[in-house]
Amino acid sequence: MLSKLVTASALMAFCVIVHALGLSVALRWLGRRRSPLLFRHWSWLFIRLAALIVFLHVVEIAAWALFLTWKEAMPDVATAVYFSAATYTTTGYGDVVLQGQWRWIAGIESLTGILMCGWSTGFFFAVVSRLYAVNTATDGMGTP
């Protein structure tokens, strides 16, 4: 059981690294935007940011799924991805479950998903707040 917890911790660390790298790329991209955005540009920016964040979560879910498939804790990749997506997002349908000591992995995956989703939400909120602050300092047309 201890080895499975260590492995789950390594997968959690992988998720943190993926998230940190992805969000730092987003920060650099957003940091280059010094001028206020017009309202019509906000939607496109938010769509791209949301797509990046969802992509990061998909990579993290895939890592958990591939591990479970590799260790034969799940019968195939499709089932493992389904299970990991439901577990990571804490949907937890319960129609596919891990057996025995592998159940510890599911708990760690759920906690990791909660943390990564919270981090994503906080990041998205910070971006919206920054854009709102910059645009309220202008006349709404992108000029001071």
Angle between helices 2-31 and 103-136 (to 10 degrees): 10
Of residues 25 and 2, more confidently modeled: 25
- The amino acid at residue 96 is V
> Whole-number mean pLDDT of the chain?
87
Scan for tokens 């990041």, then name that residue: 123
**Tell me, what's the pLDDT at 39?**
60
105 touches 7 (CB < 8 A): yes
> What is the domain partition of the chain in residue ranges?
2-30+40-136
Name the maximum alpha-carbon separation found in the chain.
62
Q: How far is the C-alpha of 47 from the C-alpha of 114, rounded, in Å?
A: 22
CATH class of 2-30+40-136: mainly alpha
Taking only the tens place, the pLDDT of each residue in 82-141 is 999 999 999 988 899 898 888 889 999 999 999 999 999 999 999 888 777 766 665 544
Whether 79 contacts 96, CB under 8 Å: yes
Half-sphere exposure for 9 (CA within 13 Å, toward CB): 6
Residue 17 has pLDDT above 50, yes or no: yes
Token look-up 């998903």 returns 113
* pLDDT tens-digit readout, 20-72: 999 999 988 887 765 556 666 777 888 999 999 999 999 999 999 999 999 99
CA geometry: angle 96, 98, 104, nearest 5 deg: 135
Comparison of pLDDT for 4 and 1, the residue scoring more: 4
Assign 64 to helix, strand or coil.
helix
Tokens of 8: 């789950």
Res. 10: pLDDT tops 90: yes
Confidence grade of residue 144 (pLDDT, cut at 50, 70, 90): very low
Tell me the pTM.
0.85
pLDDT for 58 equals: 98
Cα separation of 99 and 79, whole Å? Answer: 14
More confident residue, 55 or 4: 55
